[in-house]
Amino acid sequence: MFGLRLALAYVLFAALATLVNLLTQAGVVQVWTAPEAVYAAILAGTLTGLYTKYELDRRYIFSVARKRPAQEGRQFLLYSANGVFTTAIFWGSELLFMALFEPPWMRYVGAVLGLAVGYWIKYRLDRRFVFETGT
């Protein structure tokens, strides 16, 4: 069961991973000041944030022990693929609300709804296909 305590931890881990992402990006652009540095910063931030969230989810949400490197790599790829799928839900919801509703702030309503649905689906997909802790 996805209880309140687990849900709060899941949200907290998402916030921590976002912070890691943004701090990594800030660090890259501090060190590398060329115009193309922003692309390297986005990539580095995405990778560090994704890996942070993966490790926190693996250990504290799903209570899964480390595996052999090949298994761990497969698991991380599946986790990442689920993230791509659910990010499309988030972006789609945000863009849909932007197109359907006049006030600009409605875009954020769509974003919040998309994030909530996306994270709920991601949890279910990760539980079933990545960490295999149930159906």
Q: pLDDT tens, 95-111?
A: 999 999 999 899 889 88
**133: pLDDT strictly greater than 80:** no
Banded pLDDT at 8 (limits 50, 70, 90): very high
Q: Which amino acid is at 122?
A: K
Q: Which amino acid is at 17?
A: A
pTM of the model: 0.83
Domain boundaries of the chain, sorted by first residue: 1-61, 68-135
Question: CB within 8 A of 121, min separation 6: which ones?
Answer: 85, 86, 89
Q: pLDDT tens, 21-64?
A: 999 999 999 999 998 899 999 899 999 999 999 999 999 999 99
